[in-house]
Amino acid sequence: MTTDLKTLAGTLNAEFPALSPLDRLKRLREAVSGRLVFTTSLGIEDQMITHLIFSNAIKIEVVTLDTGRLFPESYEVWRRTEETYGKRIHAKYPQAEALENLIEEQGIDGFYHAKEFRLNCCGVRKIEPLGRALAGANGWVTGLRADQSANRHDMDFAGYDSVRGLIKANPIFDWSREDVAAFTKENGVPVNVLHDQGFLSIGCAPCTRALEPGEPERAGRWWWEDDTKRECGLHVPGASEGVRSPVQA
């Protein structure tokens, strides 16, 4: 199965540039047997993909990782999306014991004090729940775009995730933010009101700020860290192997 998925990932990566995002999703569903999971952050890119999946009845599960620290506006767009399409966005939450131990060890906002603490928080609130969301799946759909950051520019339309043992597909990889915004407006897709307030990339409330004029798209994420490749670990190969849970010694 591993060899088959690796080969298929290469085939899809070669085919995707000539297809529209909708056709990429349809082709992925046609090519990959078993479960396909789309993880949405409820940001504008992911709202576009959710629209394509729900409006075209594509059999791809839509899942969000509710860290417990999201903006109220993110919950509001979650609700509006379910009402608009009459579909459920499934949720994965942090494990209670791991979260309790994290806060006991680091404090409620300990992630501001050390990058290790921030990565521990992302590990408990995002990476471990992602693992459960993708368990048993053969394909993972994301809303990554090449121009979001230098770290993402060199990723593929589709590739084999050797850590999770599945195909990872990015159906709007070559779309600009302006393209995505025009699509959502034209198609009446619910979007987070924070986007109009300077929040171009929206994550957990304590870890996201509005951008200053001229800043790159992801500069508002973990802005207190002196790092040009700020990621939570979801899209960093092998990150899940190195994250220490506070319940461990």
CB atoms within 10 A of CB 160: 19
Angle, CA of 66, 59 and 127, to the nearest 5°? 30
Give 32's Cβ-side CA count (13 Å radius): 35
Show the tokens assigned to 34.
């078993």
Consult the annotation and say whether 11 binds a ligand: no
Pairing of strands 61-65, 158-161: unpaired
SS3 35: strand
Consult the annotation and say whether 122 binds a ligand: yes
Consult the annotation and say whether 207 binds a ligand: yes
Give the contacts of 243 (CB within 8 A, at least 6 positions apart). Answer: 119, 120, 122, 123, 127, 233
Cα(174)–Cα(143) distance, integer angstroms: 11
Consult the annotation and say whether 204 binds a ligand: yes
Cα(35)–Cα(60) distance, integer angstroms: 7
Catalytic center residues: 232
- Binding positions are 121-122, 204, 207
- Binding positions for [4Fe-4S] cluster are 121-122, 204, 207
